[in-house]
A and B are shown apart, each in its own frame.
Chain A
Amino acid sequence: MVGQSIRDIRRRINSVRSTSQITRAMEMVSVAKLRRAQEQLAQARPFAGQLADVVRRLLADPRLHRQLPGVSPAVVTGRASVSRVAYVVITSDRGLAGGYNVNLVRFARTQIESDSCPYLLYCIGRKGRHFFERLGWPVQGGLESVGDNVDFLTARKLGSELWELFVSSQVDQVDLIYQQFLGVGHQRPVRETLLPLTRLVSSRIASTGDATRLGKGPEQAGEGADTEATTVAEYIYVPSREQVLALLLPRLVHNELYRVLLEAKASEHGARRTAMHQATENAEEMLRALQLSYNKARQAAITKELVEIVGGAETLTAGGGQ
Chain B
Amino acid sequence: MSRADRLLHLEVVTPARQVLEADVEAVILPALDGYVGILPGHAPMIVGLDIGLVHYGGQSGPKQVMAVAGGFAEVRDDQVKVLADTAELAREIDVPRAKAAFARAEERLRHPSRDLDLARAEAALRRAAVRLEVAGRAGGGGGAREGGYAPGEERLGEP
A5 sits at the interface (CB 8 A): no
A298 sits at the interface (CB 8 A): no
Nearest chain B CB to A303's CB is how many angstroms away?
65
B48 to A243, Cβ gap below 8 A?
A: yes
Q: Collect the chain B residues with CB atoms within 8 Å of residue A227's CB.
A: 76-77
B83 sits at the interface (CB 8 A): yes
Q: Collect the chain A residues with CB atoms within 8 Å of residue B48's CB.
A: 238-239, 243-244, 247
Contact of A251 among B11, B36, B71, B77 (CB under 8 A): B71
Nearest-CB residue, chain A, relative to B49: A247
A235 to B156, Cβ gap below 8 A?
A: no
Q: Collect the chain A residues with CB atoms within 8 Å of residue B39's CB.
A: none
Q: A153-B156, A247-B72, A255-B15 are in contact. Are A47 and B83 (CB under 8 A)?
A: yes
B32 sits at the interface (CB 8 A): yes
B152 sits at the interface (CB 8 A): yes
Q: A239-B33, A244-B48 are in contact. Are A43 and B72 (CB under 8 A)?
A: no
> Complex: how many Å from CA A236 to CA B72?
13
B64 sits at the interface (CB 8 A): no
B81 to A231, Cβ gap below 8 A?
A: no
Nearest-CB residue, chain B, relative to A231: B44
> Complex: how many Å from CA A236 to CA B47?
8
Q: Collect the chain B residues with CB atoms within 8 Å of residue A255's CB.
A: 15
Q: Collect the chain A residues with CB atoms within 8 Å of residue B14's CB.
A: 47, 152
Q: Collect the chain B residues with CB atoms within 8 Å of residue A151's CB.
A: 16, 150, 152-153
Question: How many pairs of A and B residues are in contact by the CB < 8 Å rule?
Answer: 95
Nearest-CB residue, chain B, relative to A234: B44
A225 sits at the interface (CB 8 A): no
- Among the stretches A50-58, A134-142, A288-296, the one at the interface with B is A50-58
Nearest chain A CB to B71's CB is how many angstroms away?
7
> Complex: how many Å from CA A54 to CA B77?
13
A152 to B15, Cβ gap below 8 A?
A: yes
Q: Collect the chain A residues with CB atoms within 8 Å of residue B137's CB.
A: none
B4 sits at the interface (CB 8 A): no
A153 to B72, Cβ gap below 8 A?
A: no
| Best-buried of B33, B152, B159 by chain A (most CB within 10 Å) | B152
A236 to B45, Cβ gap below 8 A?
A: yes
Nearest chain B CB to A243's CB is how many angstroms away?
5
Nearest chain B CB to A61's CB is how many angstroms away?
10
Give the interface SS of chain A, mostly helix, strand, loop or mixed.
helix
Tell me the chain B residues, 12-41 only, with Cβ under 8 Å from chain A: 13-18, 31-33, 36
B71 to A239, Cβ gap below 8 A?
A: no
Nearest-CB residue, chain B, relative to A227: B77
Tell me the chain A residues, 36-89 only, with Cβ under 8 Å from chain B: 40, 43-44, 46-48, 50-51, 54, 57-58
Nearest-CB residue, chain A, relative to B70: A247
Nearest chain B CB to A21's CB is how many angstroms away?
33
A43 to B18, Cβ gap below 8 A?
A: yes
B15 to A238, Cβ gap below 8 A?
A: no
Nearest chain A CB to B107's CB is how many angstroms away?
23
B43 sits at the interface (CB 8 A): yes
B106 sits at the interface (CB 8 A): no
Contact of A54 among B18, B31, B74, B153 (CB under 8 A): B74
> Complex: how many Å from CA A47 to CA B81?
10
> Complex: how many Å from CA A58 to CA B11?
19
B46 sits at the interface (CB 8 A): yes
A238 to B13, Cβ gap below 8 A?
A: no
A58 to B46, Cβ gap below 8 A?
A: yes
B155 sits at the interface (CB 8 A): yes
A40 to B16, Cβ gap below 8 A?
A: yes
B153 to A236, Cβ gap below 8 A?
A: no
> Complex: how many Å from CA A231 to CA B72?
18
Q: Collect the chain B residues with CB atoms within 8 Å of residue A235's CB.
A: 44-46
Q: Collect the chain B residues with CB atoms within 8 Å of residue A258's CB.
A: 15
A50 to B44, Cβ gap below 8 A?
A: no
B31 to A238, Cβ gap below 8 A?
A: yes
A43 to B46, Cβ gap below 8 A?
A: no
Closest 4 CB pairs of A and B: A151-B152, A236-B45, A43-B17, A47-B13
Q: Which residues of B contact A (CB under 8 A)?
A: 11, 13-18, 31-33, 36, 43-48, 71-72, 74, 76-77, 81, 83, 148, 150, 152-153, 155-156, 159
Known: A46-B13, A251-B83. 8 other contacts (CB 8 A): A50-B83, A151-B153, A152-B15, A152-B152, A156-B156, A227-B77, A231-B76, A248-B46
